[in-house]
Amino acid sequence: MSASIVAFNSGNGVLVTTRGPGKVHLISYGSNGGLPNHVGTITTANSGVTRFMISHSYTFTGFAFYWDGTGEAVFSIGNQLLRQPVGNTWAQAVNVPYGGQPAINNDVSGQVPSAVQRDNAVTCFIIPDLI
């Protein structure tokens, strides 16, 4: 990763590109406002490529995600060309601190048991094909 490209700063969102049907699992944790962790999934039935945007909330300081699907998944930050693999369990999640560099294959499973379930309501969005 380039040190100059930092997640969630200067419009640098986290992009996840997947192939085949499956789910992106996302946890938002470390609330600076006393909220519980939020965990949820966004599902795609697309047999081809689907692109997701992992957004953020100023209420949380950490975000982690993994791919549970039939094909591969990679992620990038902002407009960088480098793509890196996405893990397939909470023990191998991509962990992205707000305003920081991602940690790949970082175990965040300890954050999950206390999380409130928010399927289809987490800060992860499918990017439409025609934008």
**What pLDDT shows up at residue 23?**
97
Least confident of 3-7, 52-56, 107-111, 112-116: 3-7
Q: How far apart are CA 52 and CA 119, in angstroms?
A: 15
Tokens at residue 17, please? 């590109």
pLDDT at 127 exceeding the cut of 50? yes
What pTM did the predictor assign?
0.89
Q: Read off the pLDDT of residues 31-46 as tens digits, 9 standing for 90 and up.
A: 999 999 999 999 999 9
